[in-house]
Amino acid sequence: MNQPAQPYVRIGTQGVRPADVIAVSRRQARVQLSSEALAAIRESRDVIDKLARSPRPAYGVSTGFGALATQHIPVTQRVRLQHGLVRSHAASTGAEVEAEVVRGLMLLRLATLATGRTGVREVTARRYEALLNSGITPVVGEFGSLGCSGDLAPLAHCALALMGEGRVRLPDGRASTAADALAQHGLEPHELVEKEGLALINGTDGMLATLCLAAEDLTHLLQLADVTAAVSVEALGGAGSVFAPDLQELRPHPGQSVSAANLFAMLADSPIVASHWSDRSTRVQDAYSLRCAPQVHGAVRDTLDHAKAVAARELRSAIDNPVVMGDGRVESNGNFHGAPLAYVLDFLAIAAADLAGISERRTDRMLDPARSGGLNAFLAEDPGVDSGLMIAQYTQASLVSEMKRLASPASVDSIPTSAMQEDHVSMGWNAGRKLRRSLDALTRVLAIELLVATRAQDMRAPLSASPALRAVRDAVRRVADGPGPDRHLAPEIDAVVGLVRDDAVMAAVRDVGVTLA
């Protein structure tokens, strides 16, 4: 939360872009409701005000919620109804959800308010806008959402902060009560009226924010995976020719072509590769973890493209129940069900686990003297006296095993709630939470492959790496030493993880004129 503020993200009636979610979540961009959105909000509120005066029951306006929808609420109790809804639904527990996820879900809730389908007042939308722009972040616990009726508990904690209740984090990360935080920023606690409490909590925004952030992270990790694979192929003296464009055209999956092109470009002009393939009399092809890297990495790319398409559709959606239609009807619906998001969140966790798995197999091959093509056992300086990078692969294996567990889909589970009114739920929030843990593990797996592969590169001396991969090795050497006697390994692993997260590895490739897709 310490990065400089970005220009305003404009929120209209047609939703926001994935880049807007990243800007607000991670770069603290401020938001601004458009005049078109404010007009749509006022128009839909007129409809709700008429319903509030009508004797006809209307869900969320003059009735209870969920299984209590048959209970009519008198006019004098309707403010209490909305406030009680928010207070009772702010029921999450567990570790705090990351601030970037909370900011993302708040942006997406505001974007749905801006569609003019929820029936909130203009003042409520503006107060929510002001809360987001203040940098105050409501505290949300990790457990509580089932991903159906939307992310009720996480969104309720945000609405609770708008009311001046509950716990929050100030822009500098310090804990505070919502009441004190609002006062420090010149904001007043907000009173909700008919329909507003429901409109602030009934959305898929937590799942969608998580998906947008994960898609951004996995996009970068896929480029990194191509880099680490290329360094490993080179260090093992693998063939770069198998990544040639004409071979990829025989199986025209788009992701495979992209990954193969990246590998082909990075391995160009490699003296190490040229040396190992100068005599093909005893070697005709590489192991699958090398030769099939584009097929696996590419399949992850194509899976990610599908997930991005789902996110793009959801970003243009108006998720609430009931909704105000353009002709003035107020209709119940099931658009809050998180299944479309839950499936792709699970799908990405499966793909990420396989991407980590092939990375670990390449690492293990470099450490095994029977398969490494002449490298020292475990890349140790004096095998036996030194253990080298033996245990780095253990760490990788531990991470990959955890990722396989996290790949078990959450979306196949459903536990009925609300006295069987909500009898099928998506568990999409849980799918998103485990995907975040999986992508953190993937970052560490790839960092370890990079640490191992660059040491293997060094041990091929006097043969040198390709220009692009020599630049990668040099970047790693700025934070982790090359071959030598055994030393404390954990700080080196963490340093390379930091290097990866800072984009320094990709910058090194770009600096030598190699552009990766």
Beta strand 9-11 with 31-33 is: parallel
Q: What is the pLDDT of residues 74-102, one digit of tens each?
A: 888 888 889 999 999 999 999 999 999 99
Active-site residue identified among 59, 128, 288, 343? 59
Task: Quickly state the pLDDT bin for 389 (edges 50, 70, 90).
Answer: very high
Beta strand 137-138 with 167-169 is: antiparallel
Cα of first residue to Cα of last residue in the chain, in angstroms, is 29
Place of tokens 């409490």: 197
What pLDDT is stored for residue 2 in this prediction? 46
List the structure tokens of 82.
């909305």
Residues ≥6 apart with Cβ < 8 Å to 335:
317, 318, 319, 320, 321, 323
Q: Which domains does the chain have, with CATH numbers?
A: 9-203 (1.10.275.10), 211-511 (1.20.200.10)
| Residue 394 annotated to the active site | no
What pLDDT is stored for residue 422 in this prediction? 82
Burial 216-233 (b: 16+ CB within 10 A, else e): bbbeebbbbbbbbbbbbb
CB atoms within 10 A of CB 116: 25
Task: Work out the average pLDDT over 377-403.
Answer: 97
What pLDDT is stored for residue 281 in this prediction? 46
Task: Quickly state the pLDDT bin for 67 (edges 50, 70, 90).
Answer: low
Q: How far apart are CA 468 and CA 371, in angstroms?
A: 25
Q: How far apart are CA 301 and CA 218, in angstroms?
A: 9
Q: Of 435, 429, 345, whose CA–CA distance to 145 is shortest?
A: 429
Task: Work out the average pLDDT over 438-447.
Answer: 98
What pLDDT is stored for residue 69 in this prediction? 72
Q: What is the pLDDT of residues 275-286, one digit of tens each?
A: 876 665 456 789
What pLDDT is stored for residue 198 in this prediction? 93
Assess whether pLDDT exceeds 90 at residue 1.
Answer: no
HSE, side-chain direction, 13 A CA sphere, residue 395: 20
Assess whether pLDDT exceeds 60 at residue 4.
Answer: no
What pLDDT is stored for residue 276 in this prediction? 74
